[in-house]
Structure 1
Amino acid sequence: MSEIVQKTVGIVGLGLIGGSLGLELRRLGYRVLGVSRRPVTCERAIALGVADQAEIELATVSEADVIFICTPLNWIETSIRQLLPDLKPTTVVTDVGSVKNPIVEAIAPLWENFVGGHPMAGTAEQGIEAAQWGLFKDAPYVLTPLPSTPTVAVEQVKEIVQALGSRLYCCEPQQHDRAVAWISHLPLWVSASLIEACLQEEEQAVLQLAQSLASSGFRDTSRVGGGNPELGEMIARYNGRELLRSLYTYRRVLDQVIAQVEEQDWEHLLHLLGRTESARPAFVKHPPSPG
């Protein structure tokens, strides 16, 4: 009888996403090797069951079959470049960055077995302590392989994504960045702008009353604008072209609404709200994954 070989996964960056990946993959039977810049995070990763082994040296993950880079966007390329000398030729490397085109353009020429990835899951909490079971279940997980990416590399990442219970999608890196600009990056900056606009209220008593009255509507529309500032800045830096495209379109629509209110054009305002009422379900009620 042949021996079953346990697959080994490396995770660089043990925050919310990396930590949650570790929890799930260990439960699925993978051996998980983790890397964090902070020794205390490595200790917590082992104590919480996120990793079988966790160290501060990148070489810790060199023996892994698949490596997930779960660092902030501005550390992905640096981390992979530092890893390359220690990797086996067959090692598959993937990332979890929320912007894909600049990452794929930078890494694909360096490592053939690189598969860009983006799990669209998260919470308002950050760090290893926020790691949780089931974070990726039923959440979209996008892979952005190139035509030149080896099929065997893509299939290895697909296997893990599907084992997580995610809804798998594959597309070109540019398509990903344009799509997420509409449904993730634009909402973040619209949400942040909403909060900033409220803070422009000059009468302090009115501002305090507004803060006291704010309920579910404001909480829902402002949530992503009150998140991690560094993430928002990285999104604007790495996906600026597509973010600007969506912001300019949003500004044109907002200008139309302003003009219709000024002109008391209730008919067109009602028509717009009817269109948005009908269109919203397509964005929030998802069909089965085509992956």
Structure 2
Amino acid sequence: MAIYSVAAPEEGYAGGANNTESQGGVMKIGIVGLGLIGGSLAIDLRSQGHTILGMSRRAETCEQAIARQIVHEASPDPKLVASADLIFLCTPLAALQDSVQQLVPHLATTAILTDVGSVKQPIVQQLAPLWPNFVGGHPMAGTAESGLDAALSGLFVDRPYVLTPTESTPAHALATVAEVVRSLRCRLYQCAPAEHDRAVAWISHLPVMVSASLIAACLSEPEAAVLELAQHLASSGFRDTSRVGGGNPELGVMMARYNQAALLNTLHAYRNQLDGLIQQIEQANWAALDQALMRTQAERPKFVEPQ
């Protein structure tokens, strides 16, 4: 399994145009899809001196992006990004293929495309044949909010950002995307698309389903007074564990649709763990329960603290 971290910038590096200039200067960068991720990319990359060209299917979003000075130009017309050197595809997973097909007739042969989708293998298989200079990507960053109104500066700082090249990915395209992504001051990684999908099924897609199930389980309380009391008493623990389950439903469906096999594998494994806990509690096997919780206490830092 080829998973490795890309070397971080030297200490004290703050991103910006100076780093990009060493690779040939500032660029024209297209952002297709002006939501949370696309808007946040535009904000940070514009601050570095790049020319940002935004594309959204809604004219109102384009007008808003210009008014907020998130992009230099914006339009629903794919011709707007025809002159871009690098284009970030920030649409929902289901719209990526159509977006690329709309763009292809207008692009220069040297243009580089990269996406930000949370599933990689099926997307890379779809898009790489449509455009040779394509690099799969996934920024592991976000908030509970969505849309351009939620876009903010610094969203990607110290967050993982994964690139998933294949044997056919041009080296120069990968290097260009990596350099621009690195300027966001994220933690940059590279791995195979299939390995990415198995990994994120555990730490991103499974938590969404588990969190949603937690909320749904609470709603099954038959007594309205008890349910209302639980809602009043819910504090930080419930907020933390239910946050991703209360997010954008479309994203959850897309995770399940495009990463079905890996997600099902993790769900079955999680169900087995729950069955084990139920058995320990039913049998009052407190020693076994203590051992299980001690193990999870010891292992959690490996997932939530930077390695």
TM-score range, shorter chain: over 0.9
Deviations 1:19-58 (A, max 9, x none): 1111101101100000011111101101112110001101
Q: Is the 2:157–2:184 Cα contact (8 Å) retained in structure 1?
A: yes
In structure 2, distance between residues paired with 1:116 and 1:156: 13
Find the counterpart in structure 2 of residue 126 from structure 1. Answer: 146
Gaps of 5+ in 2: 1-23
Q: How many residue pairs end up in the alignment? A: 284
- Match of residue 259, structure 1, among 250, 275, 279: 279
Find the counterpart in structure 2 of residue 147 from structure 1. Answer: 167
2:167 alignment partner AA: P
Find the counterpart in structure 2 of residue 215 from structure 1. Answer: 235
In structure 2, distance between residues paired with 1:134 and 1:216: 25
Alignment partner of 1:169: what SS? strand
In structure 2, distance between residues paired with 1:21 and 1:126: 14
Deviations 1:98-153 (A, max 9, x none): 01010001111221110000001111111111110100111100000101111000
1:85 Cα deviation (Å)?
1.2
In structure 2, distance between residues paired with 1:47 and 1:120: 28
- Over aligned residue pairs, what C-alpha RMSD do you find? 0.9
Per the normalisation by structure 1, the TM-score is 0.96
In structure 2, distance between residues paired with 1:98 and 1:250: 21
Find the counterpart in structure 2 of residue 160 from structure 1. Answer: 180
Q: Is the 2:100–2:130 Cα contact (8 Å) retained in structure 1?
A: no
2:265 alignment partner AA: R
Q: Percent identity?
A: 59
Alignment partner of 2:188: what SS? strand
Gaps of 5+ in 1: none
- Determine if the alignment matches structure 1 residue 31 to structure 2 residue 51: yes
1:112 alignment partner AA: P
- Match of residue 299, structure 2, among 268, 273, 279: 279
1:6 Cα deviation (Å)?
3.6
In structure 2, distance between residues paired with 1:58 and 1:12: 9
Alignment partner of 1:118: what SS? strand
Find the counterpart in structure 2 of residue 11 from structure 1. Answer: 31
Larger relative contact order, structure 1 or 2 (CA cutoff 8 Å, min sep 6): 2
In structure 1, distance between residues paired with 2:54 and 2:306: 33
- Determine if the alignment matches structure 1 residue 76 to structure 2 residue 96: yes
- Determine if the alignment matches structure 1 residue 182 to structure 2 residue 202: yes
Find the counterpart in structure 2 of residue 135 from structure 1. Answer: 155
In structure 1, distance between residues paired with 2:83 and 2:254: 30
Alignment partner of 1:258: what SS? helix
Alignment partner of 1:165: what SS? coil
1:69 Cα deviation (Å)?
0.4
Summarize the Cα distance change of 1:144–1:5 in structure 2 as closer, same or farther, 3 Å threshold.
closer
In structure 1, distance between residues paired with 2:301 and 2:144: 24
Which runs of structure 1 show a deviation greater than 3 angstroms over 4 or more consecutive aligned residues?
A: none
1:5 Cα deviation (Å)?
5.4
The 5 A counterparts of 1:189-200 are 189-200=209-220
1:168 Cα deviation (Å)?
0.2
- Determine if the alignment matches structure 1 residue 66 to structure 2 residue 71: no
